[in-house]
Amino acid sequence: MGRIGKRALVIPSGVDIKLIDGTIQVKGPKGTLVQAYDPKVSIKVESGKVMTLTAAADGESLAMQGLYNSLVKNMITGVTAGFEKDLEMVGVGYRAQMQGKKLSLSAGFSHPVEFDPPPGIEFAVTGNTKIKIKGTDRQVVGQVAANIRAAREVEPYKGKGIKYAGEIVRRKAGKAAKATTGGGA
């Protein structure tokens, strides 16, 4: 237990990491991310590497060490490469379009469903049915994608709705045709 928390993360060139009052600040070419961390875990930045350490050896402390190690790794990846999620719309008349920075969806309702991007998030639409969500913070990108998907979740009978790209939807069989036996009343 605790292997993830013990790994040393290499700081790529162009990324600056600072520890300020119980928070870690990661600055890179795509932006800046800030994350508070628990005092049970100490973070050290030295000689081009970031390490998470804990004094206690109980399960909770080791879990927190691994959590913050993964969060810092995601922050470094976010400010260098960024994160993105792809969504697909399936259904007749289902389409997405951009209105300025807003995302407007026609998803079978009597009105369009609109989404404003939170700070640091960008939307892109290709082919009227494919939506791409880009940003530096992995948690925010995933939450925005989940919120958009929740606007019209995929139903299991016809497979219509908004789904993640590559998501496999288990389809249910519809009503079976009633067999006629030829028997009378």
Amino acid at 173: A
pLDDT computed for residue 174 by the predictor: 80
Residue 2 has what pLDDT? 57
Q: Are 29 and 79 in contact (CB under 8 A)?
A: yes
Q: Which domain holds residue 70?
A: 3-80
The pTM of the full predicted model, rounded to 2 decimals, is 0.84
In this prediction, residue 138 carries a pLDDT of 95
Q: What is the model's pLDDT at position 180? A: 58
Same domain, 11 and 28: yes
Residues 88 and 158 in one domain: yes
The domain that holds 110 is classified in CATH as: 3.90.930.12
16 domain residue, yes or no = yes
CB half-sphere exposure, 44, CA atoms < 13 A: 10
pLDDT value for 177: 53
- Tell me the mean pLDDT per 10 residues along the chain, length 185: 80 92 93 91 91 86 91 94 94 92 92 93 93 95 96 91 91 72 59
Number of domains in the chain: 2
The strand pairing partners of 115, in sequence order, are 103
**Amino acid 19: pLDDT:** 92
